[in-house]
Amino acid sequence: MVDDLDRALLAQLRRDATQSYAALGQAVGLSAGAAHERVRKLRERGVIRRTTVDVDPAAVGEAVLAFVMIDANAWMGDQPTRDALATIPEIREAHIIAGSASLLVKIRTATTEELQDVLRRLFEIDGVTGTQTIVVLETVLDHPDQTTAPLS
């Protein structure tokens, strides 16, 4: 279970995961040692899954963002599908979904020609019968995963 203090720590880490434990503790009313211990426990329990950086996709040649709904004639949640998706490095996320499609994938490429190549590779996965692609023209809001917490 995550309490209000854990939520406050997580909110601070989401703003800046590189801050010192002293700064982190000060922001939530803990000592550096207590903040470090709480963060360690959050990692051990799997609440904090990883620490990462937020990179501008256009700056690294991945300006094309697309979401693709994948239609299938079989269940797509098994390991063979997961393994096949993992071989396509342009896929950033993959989700089993409810509705008319079976999967939703988030794809980043440099060009629409590269996106087309990824779509071809998706059709090589057993069970895939069709795709519906949405190409993003502009992102107007992009929040990282957030948990709200009172920061009293």
pLDDT digits (tens, 9 = 90+) for 8-44: 999 999 888 899 999 999 999 999 999 999 999 999 9
Which domains, from first to last, does the chain contain? 4-44 (1.10.10.10), 57-135 (3.30.70.920)
**Tokens 């360690």 correspond to what residue?**
40
Per the structure block, which two tokens stand in for 76? 């797509």
Query: pLDDT digit string (tens) for 134-150?
Result: 999 999 998 766 544 43
DSSP string, 11-54: HHHHH-TTS-HHHHHHHHT--HHHHHHHHHHHHHTTSS------
Q: Per-residue pLDDT tens for 52-98?
A: 888 889 999 999 999 999 999 999 999 999 999 999 999 999 999 99
In angstroms, the CA 20 to CA 38 distance is 14
> Measured between alpha carbons, how far is 143 from 36 in angstroms, rounded to an integer?
25
State pTM to two decimals.
Answer: 0.79
